[in-house]
Amino acid sequence: MTSTTLITNAEATKDAIKKAKEHPKLGVGLHFNITLGRPVSDTHKVRSLVDKNGVFLSRDFMALKLLLGLIPASDLTSELLAQYEYMVSHGLHPTHIDSHQHIHAMPLCFDVIASLCKEKGIPIRMPWPLGLKGIRVPFNRWIRQSVLSRLLSRNENAWTGEVLWNAGLGSIFDLGIVPTRLSVSHYRKLLCAAPHGPFELMVHPARRADQLVGKTRIGDISVMEWQFLMSGDLHAVISELNFILGDYRNL
């Protein structure tokens, strides 16, 4: 593991910061979050992002409001700065910025984050769909990937030359239907499809699925991925295919 990303408003944030400081070679990005929990900034500064209880809106509702122009850029900027400053004030300087559930693919959100990245000289993660050949993707995922591709194309055109980003991104979800047991062949297929340039192999490891109930629907998959990563087999595939390990600082 060479790179990870930090949610600043989660239950285990302070423990994660402590662990990050114990591993200074690990790249740690800012996982901009506006779809889970409560804001870091004062609620009255980000009224468009929260419900009547001061809790962030769901991803689907947030995306809809962004598409309809119902969220001011100032609200996004306030929360982004609050999360960035929280991380920096605790002694961690983000190696990059990405977002929870890829919400930063939405144009307004992307512009706000890219502006900060340009100012601070920080790369941004582009959640490119990998598009494996010969893979039958479920229809709902195909729709999401098609929309995501169009959004990222717009963002790429707007910010090329202004901000650095990865050339590719892949995870086991690009396999279409996630297998019931992970093997070396699955990860070899993902890495063989990586485009030329910096590629992020995204993983979501977790020891216990029950601890993720209410936070994500991929708890069982996360445990399966954790078990495979702990086997050590992935490192052999990385070496076999001549990848060089790094993080977003290498951009």
Give the mean pLDDT of 189-212.
Answer: 93
121-139 per-position pLDDT tens digit? 999 999 999 988 888 777 8
Domain boundaries, the chain: 1-125, 126-251
155-185 per-position pLDDT tens digit? 999 999 999 999 999 999 999 888 889 999 9
pTM comes to 0.94
% of the chain residues with pLDDT over 90: 86
Where does 126-251 sit in CATH, by number? 3.20.20.370
Give the mean pLDDT of 196-207.
Answer: 95
Domains 1-125 and 126-251 share a fold: yes
**Architecture (CATH level 2) of domain 1-125:** Alpha-Beta Barrel (3.20)
pLDDT at 84: 98
pLDDT at 241: 95
Q: Which residues contact 123 (CB under 8 A, 6 or more apart)?
A: 95, 96, 97, 117, 163, 164, 165, 166, 248, 251
